[in-house]
């Protein structure tokens, strides 16, 4: 086994194709035969532009990255192929291979979901946030793709056909009855429904069955913090001294707040209110505008 070193540059060798076997962690199950033939023609004309990546296991090699290139080489009947040999652990090899594949743009949603599932489960136990960071996507996207694996197998089998998309399934998941869910998906696939048509059919089903629409939970907005809150306690304490009563204090955001003040029980309510606002100005360490006091009635 090669000794690992952070400064070591992986070697590139001509390896026998017959001694390279694919990784058991490969998420891709379907390879388009036509696309592979196109790649093989390109490799025959231009050669292998980018070597595959492998690691040495005994007398053979396990593929880490580059299965399409390896398959194309097999189509061409190549005996050897350029390969970059790296020395990494079983776990690192699996994670690297999965991440490299997840960064591809031509994975089906289900292939992507299965890749994420491998990474969140033992022995890797990566969080959705960690996966999202490594594949360059948001955690929301990772979570949204993972829920595809909760769909009935019958719907998952339809998805590679390309009619039922991940967006279609968002509507289908609103139906709690899995039998109805499967039947609707089969109809959508057979009749090639658009996303909007699927949404309409789902709404009809829900209205007929009386099943409540599953709404996404919305987190309540936190109450706005009153920046003057630390001043209200002494203000309320001095209100009695001024002969007035503060009925309500409400912060309306953007530095605005509202006071409801009652001075009906005083002989001179205008003077009482003026006294209160003067006390308020002293409390907040600054004078209030005189026109505010003068216009109080």
How far from 182 is each of 51, 166, 172, 206, CA to CA, in Å? 43, 15, 9, 15
pTM exceeds cut of 0.75? no
Residue 181 contacts residue 158 (beta carbons within 8 Å): no
Enumerate the domain spans of the chain: 1-107, 151-209, 229-294
pLDDT in tens, 139-156: 999 999 999 999 999 999
Let me know the angle formed at the C-alpha of 102 by 99 and 106, rounded to the nearest 5 degrees.
Answer: 150
Span 204-248, pLDDT tens digits: 999 987 766 554 444 555 555 555 555 556 666 666 666 677 766
For 199-262, list the strands marked E by DSSP: 245-253, 256-262
C-alpha span between 142 and 147 (Å, rounded): 9
111 is catalytic: no
191 pLDDT higher than 80: yes
Q: Which residues contact 134 (CB under 8 A, 6 or more apart)?
A: 99, 126
CATH dotted code for 1-107: 3.90.1530.10
Q: In this structure, what are the phi and psi dihedrals at residue 247, rounded to the nearest 5 degrees?
A: -85, -35
Residue with tokens 């690297």: 96
Given the residues 62, 67, 111, 112, select the one marked as catalytic.
67
pLDDT at 199 exceeding the cut of 80? yes
């Amino acid at each position: 086994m090669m000794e690992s070193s952070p400064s070591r540059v992986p070697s590139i060798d001509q390896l026998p194709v017959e001694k390279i076997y694919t990784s058991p962690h490969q998420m891709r199950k379907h390879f388009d035969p036509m696309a592979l033939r196109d790649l093989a023609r390109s490799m025959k004309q231009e050669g292998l532009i980018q070597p595959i990546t492998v690691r040495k296991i005994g007398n053979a090699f396990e593929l880490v990255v580059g299965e399409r290139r390896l398959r194309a080489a097999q189509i061409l009947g190549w005996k050897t192929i350029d390969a970059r040999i790296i020395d990494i652990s079983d776990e690192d090899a699996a994670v690297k291979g999965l991440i490299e594949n997840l960064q591809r743009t031509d994975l089906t949603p289900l292939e992507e979901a299965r890749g994420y599932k491998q990474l969140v489960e033992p022995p890797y136990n990566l969080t959705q946030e960690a996966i999202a960071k490594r594949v360059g996507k948001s955690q929301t996207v990772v979570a949204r793709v993972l829920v595809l694996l909760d769909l009935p197998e019958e719907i998952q089998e339809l998805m590679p056909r390309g009619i039922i998309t991940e967006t279609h399934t968002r509507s289908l998941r609103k139906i709690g009855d899995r039998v109805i869910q499967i039947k609707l998906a089969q109809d959508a696939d057979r009749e090639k429904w658009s996303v909007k048509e699927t949404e309409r059919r789902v709404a009809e089903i829900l209205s007929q069955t009386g099943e409540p629409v599953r709404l996404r939970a919305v987190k309540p907005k936190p109450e706005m913090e009153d920046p003057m809150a630390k001043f209200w306690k002494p203000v309320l304490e001095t209100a009695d001294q001024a002969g007035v009563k503060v009925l309500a204090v409400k912060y309306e955001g953007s530095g605005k707040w509202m006071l409801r003040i009652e001075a009906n029980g005083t002989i001179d309510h205008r003077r009482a209110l003026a006294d209160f606002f003067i006390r308020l100005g002293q409390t907040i360490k600054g004078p209030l505008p005189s026109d505010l006091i003068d216009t109080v009635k």
